[in-house]
Structure 1
Amino acid sequence: MQSCGINSNLMFRSPKGVKEVKDSIPLKPVAEYQISRDDRFSFMLYTNDGERIVNEMAGMNKDAVAKETIEYVVRPDGTADLPILGPTPVSGLTVKQCEDTLAHLFEQKNGYNNPFVQVKLTNQRVIVFPGNGSAARVIPLQNSNTTLMEAIALAGGIAERGKANKVKIMRIVNNVRTMYIIDLSKIEGLKYADMIVQANDFIYIEPKEQVAQETLKVVAPIVSLISSALVIITIFTTLK
């Protein structure tokens, strides 16, 4: 009755007979990341093409602006509530487009002279399953050039149970989550080690099925119960 629980924690298993995508895997992003709802970002504003910091933007002095980072959240309607500008549409923009948009708005609406804006996304991350579900990690992307090997290393490497020949990259392409299969067990897979991961990627290293171990976990309590029952029966039989 409990046999259905064997290896029930395994995820994203490919049905038998289904062809797995192992070619046409993009090693670098084919397009820049676009800001979307629930993203978080910070920005710094300078005048005169970066000559000095505009400390009025947060009501703080220059030293405080340099030390403190304020995050802004993209609302479901695609806007972010920014100081001075108020609700500003940013969803769908790349980081560069967002910088240009904010620079234009600060110059047009507030008269800042040659504004220079730096935008940084602060919540970009990937989720890594290293081959043991209990060891899954959320890895923040500190830079835009984080490689697949770096992401796996930050998660502690491939677990003992993980299959190096079944590394599944699940990425959103044209609003659809697409799965790529990478084989890192052979030297030929070295070319994928420097693959650039993208925000919101799922990196799933398929675990090995442990039928014997899982079956033992299910059977052991039953065997123990039967053994205990036999001991009790033997004792009562002896007493008679």
Structure 2
Amino acid sequence: MRMIVIFALISFFATGCTINKDLLFKSAPGFEYSAISQTTVSDYKIASNDELSIQLYPNGGERLLSISTGISSDDNNRYLNQTRNTITYRVKSSGTVELPEIGEIVLAGLTLEEAELSIEKAYSDNYHNPYVLLNVTNNRVLVFPGEAGQASVITLENKNTTVLEALALAGGVRSRGISSKVKLIRSTPEGREVYLLDLSTIRGLDEASLIVQANDIIYVSSNPEIASGYLTQITPIVSVFSSLSLLYAVIVGL
């Protein structure tokens, strides 16, 4: 029995470094998190590799208004079909988008509203009072809810999706998750920002109401499973050793 205990202790130190390997995005001691400010809740800015759906209407969108009010005509039906079959355009690494008739236009770094105005201006020589509707079609956030194997990729169908809503879509904080240590990781033109959110109290509702942006990462820190992790790895080893010890005792007793 004493040999089993000694072997278990040796195995503990040998396997201890492999426990909780599922933990991601660890912060070094003294890590300075980004401060939540007005910039944090600002509108999303278009970035490289975004997929954009662009709809262009002349005469200030008059035709679109006719469609929405139910006025039927052959022209309206044609425009409606065009709306349903919207073409998407990818933002190149240079920050530009290749559009029909006008060629390349820089959109990276602009909000959706700014990009719509920029496209309208670019088409103003070709169309009378152009009206543009623009959407990012590959808006996604990654949510790690606090337990291995439960990560989700959430498609943002609503421009105003909050951190709390994104977590809810992913199934909420898991049993191992620490709701007081939720990291919001965001890429900006200036670099990567990491915000630490405390969603464990009512006061945390303000932080939970932050609007998520495309390519955000929401990571719920996890409670380490030292005991269960160790037992999971050491139990098979101890079982084998116990069987060998029993076999040895039987052989010696013969």
Normalised-by-shorter TM-score class: 0.7 to 0.9
Query: What are the ranges of 5 or more consecutive residues in structure 1 without an aligned counterpart?
Result: 54-59
Find the aligned partners of 1:95 and 1:191 in 2 and give their Cα distance: 25
**Does the alignment pair 1:5 with 2:18?**
yes
Counterpart position of 1:208: 223
Whichever residue aligns with residue 6 of structure 1, its letter is I
Bigger CA drift: 75-84 or 41-50?
Answer: 75-84
Cα distance change on mapping 1:204 and 1:117 into 2, 3 Å: same
Secondary structure of the residue aligned to 2:97 is strand
Counterpart position of 1:176: 191
Question: How many corresponding residue pairs?
Answer: 229
Counterpart position of 2:112: 95
Cα distance change on mapping 1:140 and 1:41 into 2, 3 Å: same
Residues 55-88 of structure 1, C-alpha deviation per residue, up to 9 Å, x if partnerless? Answer: xxxxx94242122222110111222222233333
Whichever residue aligns with residue 177 of structure 1, its letter is R
Question: How far is 1:30 from its partner?
Answer: 4.8
Counterpart position of 1:149: 164
Alpha-carbon contact 1:20-1:181 (below 8 Å) kept:
no
Counterpart of 2:44 (choices 33, 36, 54) is: 33
Structure 2 matches for 1:56-205, cutoff 5 A?
A: 61-108=78-125, 110=126, 112-205=127-220
Question: How far is 1:217 from its partner?
Answer: 1.3
Structure with the largest fraction of helix? 2
**Does the alignment pair 1:48 with 2:59?**
yes
Question: How far is 1:27 from its partner?
Answer: 6.8
Alpha-carbon contact 1:28-1:196 (below 8 Å) kept:
no
Question: How far is 1:227 from its partner?
Answer: 1.7
Whichever residue aligns with residue 87 of structure 1, its letter is E
Query: What are the ranges of 5 or more consecutive residues in structure 2 without an aligned counterpart?
Result: 1-13, 65-76
Alpha-carbon contact 1:28-1:195 (below 8 Å) kept:
no
Alpha-carbon contact 2:161-2:212 (below 8 Å) kept:
yes
Secondary structure of the residue aligned to 2:181 is strand
Secondary structure of the residue aligned to 2:154 is strand
With structure 2 as the length reference, what TM-score do the two structures score? 0.81
Counterpart position of 2:69: none
Counterpart position of 2:71: none
Alpha-carbon contact 2:119-2:132 (below 8 Å) kept:
yes
Bigger CA drift: 133-142 or 87-96?
Answer: 87-96
Question: How far is 1:237 from its partner?
Answer: 3.3
Alpha-carbon contact 2:179-2:199 (below 8 Å) kept:
yes
With structure 1 as the length reference, what TM-score do the two structures score? 0.86
Cα distance change on mapping 1:107 and 1:188 into 2, 3 Å: closer
Whichever residue aligns with residue 28 of structure 2, its letter is P
